[in-house]
């Protein structure tokens, strides 16, 4: 493990803590914090997909708190957590230790229990928005969110939804919040990618110029 990788892991851990603490401040207004020493779980899943060209299934990760399987009548607030450019839905666990940090903060009563959904926005095309050839924003709001709300016991009101992201994901969270103000009670942007930047690693990306212009 090189120095840069260690740095990124530290940044991701701090980002996860900041997001969870900030979002929980909002969610706590709607439900009391319940301390919970039981471990949650982070699952890597796939869902049916029709709106992304050539894709029949789309991957995502989901964190379920420790009490999720026991109280089947309870619904949970949901946080959509967006990864950065060139990364994957798995990065929040790999570099941010998402499951352990969420368990720890819930266990000591710092935050309330919540479901956390990490979409995949790098595979096939690295875009969170609607391009002519890749309608990711349509997929997010018309397929992913309805699927999550049908599959998991999450709240379906604005007060029970939040969105956050890092870099490219932070830019997406900001724009989603502007485009769909009725959807989220909180938007949290960590170093959002929201302006044209001469990024060498994007020079061969077929969507690179479109993204920069957009």
Give, for 135, the enclosing helix (H) or strand (E).
Answer: strand 134-135
Confidence of residue 109 (pLDDT cuts 50, 70, 90): confident
Please give the pLDDT value at position 13.
76
The 10s digit of each residue's pLDDT in 47-94 is 999 999 999 999 999 999 998 998 889 999 999 999 998 899 999 998
**pLDDT 10s digits, 180-213:** 999 999 999 988 877 666 667 666 776 767 666 7
pLDDT at 204: 72
Contact in structure between 63 and 23 (CB atoms under 8 Å): no
pTM metric for this prediction: 0.85
Dihedral pair phi/psi, residue 64, rounded to 5°: -115, 125
> How many helices, marked H, and strands, marked E, lie in the chain?
7, 8
> 58 — phi, psi (to 5°)?
-125, 135
Residues 106/64, Cβ–Cβ less than 8 Å: no
Could you tell me which of 195, 198, 173, 199 has the C-alpha nearest to residue 186?
A: 173
In this structure, the strands spanning 78-82 and 115-119 are parallel
Mean pLDDT of 13-25: 75
Q: Which of 19-28, 78-87, 154-163 has the lowest mean pLDDT?
A: 19-28
Distances (CA, A) of 173 to 44, 90, 183, 191, 192: 21, 18, 11, 11, 8
Please state, for a pLDDT cut of 70, what percent of the chain lies above it: 80
Backbone angles phi, psi at 67, to 5 degrees: -90, 5
> What secondary structure letter does DSSP report for 154?
B
Q: Does the pLDDT at position 34 exceed 70?
A: no
Instruction: For residue 117, list its beta bridge partners.
Output: 62, 80
**Is 210 in a helix, a strand, or coil?**
helix
Strands 161-166 and 78-82: parallel
Structure token pair of residue 149: 């709300």
User: Residue 10: what pLDDT?
Assistant: 57
Greater confidence (165 vs 214) lies with: 165
Mean pLDDT of the 165-171 span: 92
């Amino acid at each position: 493990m090189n120095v840069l990788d260690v740095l990124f892991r530290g940044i991701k851990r701090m980002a996860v803590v900041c997001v969870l603490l900030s979002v929980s401040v909002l969610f706590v207004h709607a439900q009391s914090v319940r301390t919970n020493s039981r471990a949650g779980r982070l699952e890597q899943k796939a869902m049916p997909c029709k709106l992304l060209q050539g894709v029949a299934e789309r991957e995502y990760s989901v964190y379920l708190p420790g009490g999720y399987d026991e109280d089947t009548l309870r619904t949970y607030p949901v946080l959509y957590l967006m990864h950065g450019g060139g990364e994957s839905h798995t990065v929040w666990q790999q570099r941010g230790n998402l499951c352990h940090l969420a368990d720890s903060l819930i266990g000591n009563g710092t935050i309330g229990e919540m479901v956390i959904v990490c979409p995949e926005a790098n595979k096939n095309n690295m875009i969170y928005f609607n391009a002519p050839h890749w309608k990711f924003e349509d997929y997010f709001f018309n397929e992913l969110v309805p699927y999550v709300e049908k599959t998991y016991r999450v709240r379906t009101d604005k007060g029970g939804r939040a969105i956050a992201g890092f870099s490219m994901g932070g830019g997406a969270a900001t724009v989603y919040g502007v485009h769909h103000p009725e959807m989220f009670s909180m938007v949290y942007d960590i170093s959002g990618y929201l302006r044209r930047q001469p990024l060498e690693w994007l020079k061969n990306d077929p969507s690179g110029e479109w993204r920069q212009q957009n």
